[in-house]
Structure 1
Amino acid sequence: MTDRPRFHIIHGTPAPQTEAEKVRERVRKAPKPRTMPQCHRCGGREYVETKIGIGKTATKQRVCFLCAMKGERVIM
C-alpha cells in the first residue's frame, strides 16, 4: 500500500459577497415578529404546512416554501 496524504484544512479567502447574499443577510438580521415564523436558512417568511399521518397521531410541520422550491426541506 502506498501512503496517501491526509486532508488538511487551509484558511482560504471567504466566498465573494454577491448582491443576493447581501439581501439575504439583511433579511436574516431583520427583527422577527413572534407571530410570524422565519426560515433560518434563507430568511423567507412563506411556508407550507405539511401533515404526516392521519387522525390524532398526525404531525404538522411548517416547511419553508422558498427552500422547498429549491428541493430542500427546511422546517421552520
Structure 2
Amino acid sequence: MTDKRRFTVIDGTPAPDTPAEQVRKRVRAMPRPKAMPQCGRCGGREYIEAKIGIGKSVTKQKLCVLCLMQGQRVVMG
C-alpha cells in the first residue's frame, strides 16, 4: 500500500465575534463548583439526564438543554 493520507486536518474558522459569543466565552471562563456540570459548547448549566439501556446495564448521560433545543446532542462533563 501507499503512504497516502486519507484525511487532513484543517484550521476551521473561528466563531464570529458577536455579543452572544462574547457572553458565551465569559460564561465558559467562569469558575464553577465541581458538582455543577457545564456545557463545553455553549456554557449552559442546565441538563437533562438521559438513560440508555435496561436493567443493570443502564448508561446515564447528562445532555445540555440549550444545545438540545437547537437540535444538537452535547454530553456535559
Task: Please indicate the TM-score interval, normalised by the length of the shorter structure.
Answer: 0.7 to 0.9
User: More helix by proportion, 1 or 2?
Assistant: 1
- Determine the structure 2 residue equivalent to 1:4: none
Q: TM-score, normalised by structure 2?
A: 0.78
Contact 2:15 2:21 in 1 (8 A): no
Q: Aligned residues, how many?
A: 66
Q: Which structure: larger Rg?
A: 1
Q: Which runs of 4+ in 1 moved over 3 A?
A: none
Q: Counterpart of 1:66 in structure 2: which amino acid?
A: L
- Determine the structure 2 residue equivalent to 1:54: 54
Give secondary structure in 1 for the equivalent of 2:21: helix
Q: Counterpart of 1:24 in structure 2: which amino acid?
A: R
Note the residue ranges of structure 1 that are not aligned, 5 or more in a row.
1-8
Summarize deviations over 1:24-69 as a string: whole Å, max 9, x none: 0000000011010000000000000000011100111000010000
Give secondary structure in 1 for the equivalent of 2:74: coil
- What RMSD in Å do the two structures reach over aligned CA positions? 2.0
